[in-house]
């Protein structure tokens, strides 16, 4: 058996286990912390076919477009209410010079994308195009500024170009390029992965550099910047400690954490296939996914030492599974398929973030279209939604609802002599009094039943949806786009004022009580 610990008020939702049955007590009166909708953010880098041939397509492609923005992709993302979109990187951010991406597209300079495939970048998708995309999506832009190869002046003038209503050379330039009013961008990343591709810096050096860049990234009327420091890689706890110790709270809205789930756990060799893997590798992948819980707990504990009021957000702005690229594709484009396994990773990770909503205020899945753990794949004029997309659709009810925190004991998922928790979950109460619970059963062989008494409110009806498939390797393809899609869930009922839920093996389940 494994004790699955989650923060705060453990008595609010408690479990004990009898064989493959979990009993629980859920108290809605304990719902206090808001689960920020920004936990459900996404990431669009100039990498492979995410921007070019993803969001931004050839003007002759026979799909519905606004300019060159692909609208079927936009409509799919609007349906899951994408709250924010991070751009232009990633590693690309620290070699991106924003003035190359404004003005007449035919006159914009070209560059080589040295991080991702060595391809030519024509800068036809720049600041105006990105912010037009955000307006179409009705989402907040999250811009990553260039610290690695850019200057303080360059970043300061980008903020001015975006946000200032006053008369200046930068604002006149913005107007000449077709935008009269400022966009009022507030989420602002000061560099990216400064410990690696963003400059190979030490944490102390970056902390000093951050303060300098952040000082000159000014607030303009109606657009106070939420400045986000480039935080740790996985378990580099010293990086978080150094930033929290040396950067004043009033200069930093958030600090980032990057962690990718690798099936093999190996960065230097094969990371593992996206579609061809056995149960041993599946188990190992889910074990690595669950490491996010420890990372969030330990980085949060360090932040608590310097910020007891929790004013600084932990921003997990790169997360997801990273596998070997699909055979025959450019290794620098990071194109990978998306399986039922990846849906279980998404559900599990979002449950972890929800349960740490007191500190995790923002997160960004890597990446939105055609790169890494994509929610959308495109091929010419065709488009498909991946299993991961449907997890975001099923979890929407948690956005800005109040967390019902809990701790529970879960049955083990056993593989050989190794064990990991079989079930994870999160629960919330929305503004209309509806109760939402999302469960993930990662066990490849066993169904698990949950019996939960509900205290604080009485509910009469239960509705649910389920995402599952026969195999963890099942995928949606352009030949069969609906192999892994949600269905109505009939395995939940209210019985004598208790909720009874039978969680099938390999399933993500969302429940709403009214």
- What are the catalytic residues? 193, 318
Residue 77 burial class via C-beta count within 10 angstroms: exposed 0-12, middle 13-18, buried 19 and up: buried
CA atoms of 227 and 217, how far apart (whole Å): 9
211-227 residues labelled b (16+ CB within 10 A) or e (exposed): bebbeebeebeebebbb
Query: Which 8-state DSSP code applies to residue 110?
Result: P
Alpha helices in 307-455 (DSSP H): 340-355, 387-394
Cβ 493 vs Cβ 473: under 8 Å: no
Q: CA-based angle 429:433:438, to the nearest 5?
A: 35
Tokens of 236: 């580099």
How many CB atoms are located within 10 Å of the residue 21 CB?
Answer: 14
As a whole number of angstroms, the distance between CA 43 and CA 263 comes to 21
SS3 per-residue string spanning 1-64: CEEECCCCCHHHEEEEEECCEEEEEEEHHHCCCECCHHHHEEECCCCCCCCECCCECCCCCCCC
Closest by alpha carbon to 324, among 263, 408, 390?
263
Judging by beta carbons within 10 Å of its beta carbon (0-12, 13-18, 19+), is residue 455 exposed, middle or buried? middle
Tokens representing 17 are: 């286990």
31, 13 Cβ separation under 8 angstroms: no
| Cα(509)–Cα(492) distance, integer angstroms | 10
Phi and psi at residue 332, to the nearest 5° = -80, -5
Q: 255: part of which helix (H) or strand (E)?
A: strand 254-261
The sign of the dihedral angle between the CA atoms of 118, 122, 123, 124 is: negative
Structure-token match 């702005």, residue found: 317
Q: Which of 337, 309, 314, 342 is nearest to 324 (CA)?
A: 337
Of 43, 127, 74, 31, give the one whose Cα is nearest residue 401.
31
């Amino acid at each position: 058996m494994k004790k699955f610990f989650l923060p705060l008020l453990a008595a609010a939702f408690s479990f004990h286990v009898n064989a493959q049955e979990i009993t629980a007590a859920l108290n809605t009166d304990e719902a206090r912390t808001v689960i920020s909708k920004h936990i459900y953010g996404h990431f669009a880098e100039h990498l492979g076919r995410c921007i070019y041939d993803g969001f931004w397509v050839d003007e002759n492609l026979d799909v519905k477009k606004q300019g060159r923005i692909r609208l079927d992709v936009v409509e799919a993302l609007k349906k899951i209410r994408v709250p924010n979109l991070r751009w232009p990187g990633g590693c690309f951010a620290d070699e991106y010079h924003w003035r190359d991406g404004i003005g007449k597209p035919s006159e914009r300079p070209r560059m080589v994308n040295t991080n991702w495939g060595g391809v030519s970048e024509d800068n036809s998708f720049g600041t105006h195009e990105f912010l037009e995309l955000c307006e179409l999506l009705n989402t907040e832009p999250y811009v990553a500024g260039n610290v690695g190869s850019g200057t303080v002046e360059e970043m300061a003038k980008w903020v001015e170009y975006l946000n200032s209503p006053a008369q200046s050379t930068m604002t006149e330039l913005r107007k000449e390029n077709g935008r009269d009013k400022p966009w009022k961008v507030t989420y602002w990343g000061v560099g990216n992965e400064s410990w690696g591709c963003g400059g190979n810096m030490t944490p102390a050096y970056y902390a000093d550099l951050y303060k300098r860049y952040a000082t000159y990234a000014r607030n303009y009327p109606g657009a106070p910047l939420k400045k986000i420091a480039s935080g740790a890689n996985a378990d580099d706890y010293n990086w978080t400690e150094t930033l929290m110790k040396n950067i004043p709270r009033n200069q930093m809205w958030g600090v980032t954490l990057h962690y990718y789930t690798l099936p093999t756990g190996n960065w230097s060799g094969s990371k593992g296939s996206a579609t061809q893997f056995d149960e041993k590798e599946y188990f190992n992948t889910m074990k690595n996914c669950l490491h996010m819980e420890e990372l969030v707990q330990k980085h949060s504990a360090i932040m608590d030492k310097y910020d007891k009021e929790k004013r600084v957000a932990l921003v997990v702005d790169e997360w997801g599974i990273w596998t070997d690229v699909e055979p025959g594709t450019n290794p620098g484009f990071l194109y990978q398929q998306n399986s039922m396994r990846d849906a279980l990773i998404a559900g599990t990770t979002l449950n972890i973030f929800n349960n740490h909503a007191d500190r995790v205020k923002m997160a960004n899945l890597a990446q939105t279209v055609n790169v890494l753990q994509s929610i959308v794949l495109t091929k010419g004029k065709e488009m498909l939604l991946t299993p991961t997309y449907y997890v975001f659709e099923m979890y929407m009810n948690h956005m800005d609802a109040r967390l019902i925190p809990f701790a529970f004991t879960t049955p083990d998922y056993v593989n050989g002599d190794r064990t990991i928790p079989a079930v994870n979950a999160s629960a919330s109460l929305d503004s209309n009094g509806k109760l939402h619970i999302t469960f993930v059963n990662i066990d490849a062989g066993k169904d698990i039943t949950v019996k939960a008494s509900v205290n604080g409110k009485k509910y009469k009806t239960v509705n649910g949806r389920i995402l599952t498939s026969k195999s963890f390797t099942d995928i949606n393809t352009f030949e069969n786009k609906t192999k892994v899609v949600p269905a109505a869930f009939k395995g939940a009922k209210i019985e004598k004022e208790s909720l009874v839920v039978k969680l099938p093996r390999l399933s993500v389940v969302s429940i709403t009580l009214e």
